[in-house]
């Protein structure tokens, strides 16, 4: 998503430099979606595949569909719409299949069982090897899984967003489903260089997001200053500590940080090398206890689509 301009524009060269660095470091999972820059992210990744023969076979490639630009119907899980969207994604990516195809937002005009059946047919057609959902409730996962194995569920999960601990992590573990944690560094709050207030106000997503408006913004900076100090005491980048904390939550938890900066990428990758002790995790919980964040993670309009379940 960072390639597509949500947090500022990224050039082709910057995006491909990040992908090159990922390949060199052994990163094997690439996640995108058709709405990221109206296909721009997929196109950038497709161009990188084209410039690097053989690299496609080295990675798990995931994309998503189900969010529309139609103001009358923002989410669409109709079988023909999902298949058409996947076909368009395959064309932009320059591949004949993806490894995981997600329903980006569950469309409540369909039952979870019906959507699961739709996804099963896409597997049967060879257009994806596995399927998943994004931002669904544990009950939706259980129902969809009666019609098709659900390999992964994406959810925002980090030290600043702990809701998945109230049922989703547990349900994923029970079903053998990977919990794919997006925004694992709290949209920069859990890094050594969080967005300034002025920069946050210049970006479409953050300028109205409750955690980035005053007085919440200042309170969140003050709270995460304690985390940055702890990371410095441990001799690690704050982002690395945030990634390591997520990895420690379970073997089925997979953080997917996004960046368009190779220096930031190195900090994120450092988190995969850390093995936090029980005492380390306790120190983290002391400086950022459950519920520390000021403000909701979404505005009311941003909450349209994700399922609330607790």
Catalytic residue numbers?
A: 36
Nearest of 233, 228, 240 to residue 276 by alpha carbon: 240
Cβ-contact 133, 163 below 8 angstroms: no
- DSSP letter at 131? E
What is the Cα–Cα distance from 241 to 7, expressed in whole angstroms? 22
What is the Cα–Cα distance from 35 to 81, expressed in whole angstroms? 14
Query: What are the phi and psi torsion angles at 248 (to 5°)?
Result: -75, -10
What is the Cα–Cα distance from 115 to 77, expressed in whole angstroms? 7
């Amino acid at each position: 998503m960072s390639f597509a301009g949500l947090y500022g524009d990224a050039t082709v060269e910057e995006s491909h430099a990040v992908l090159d660095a990922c390949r060199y470091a052994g990163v094997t999972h690439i996640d995108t979606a058709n709405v990221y820059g109206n296909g721009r992210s997929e196109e950038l990744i497709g161009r990188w595949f084209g410039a690097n023969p053989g690299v496609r076979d080295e990675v798990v490639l995931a994309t998503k569909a189900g969010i529309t630009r139609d103001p009358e119907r923002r989410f669409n899980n109709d079988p023909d719409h999902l298949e058409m969207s996947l076909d368009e994604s395959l064309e932009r990516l320059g591949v004949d299949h993806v490894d995981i195809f997600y329903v980006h937002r569950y469309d409540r005009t369909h039952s979870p069982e019906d959507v699961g059946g739709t996804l099963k047919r896409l597997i049967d057609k060879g257009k994806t090897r596995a399927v998943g959902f994004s931002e669904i409730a544990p009950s939706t996962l259980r129902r969809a899984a009666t019609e098709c194995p659900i390999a992964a569920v994406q959810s925002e999960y980090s030290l600043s967003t702990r809701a998945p601990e109230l049922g989703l992590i547990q349900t994923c573990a029970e079903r053998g489903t990977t919990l794919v944690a997006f925004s694992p560094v709290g949209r920069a709050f859990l890094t050594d260089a969080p967005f300034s207030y002025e920069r946050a106000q210049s970006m479409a997503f953050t300028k109205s997001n409750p955690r980035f408006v005053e007085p919440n913004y200042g309170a969140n900076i003050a709270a995460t200053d304690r985390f940055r100090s702890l990371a410095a005491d441990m001799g690690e980048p704050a982002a690395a500590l945030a990634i390591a904390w997520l990895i420690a939550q379970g073997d089925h938890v997979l953080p997917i940080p996004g960046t368009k900066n190779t220096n930031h990428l190195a900090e994120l990758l450092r988190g995969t090398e850390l093995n936090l002790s029980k005492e380390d995790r306790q120190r983290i919980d002391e400086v950022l206890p459950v519920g520390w964040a000021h403000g909701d993670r979404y505005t009311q309009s941003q909450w349209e689509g994700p399922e609330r379940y607790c």
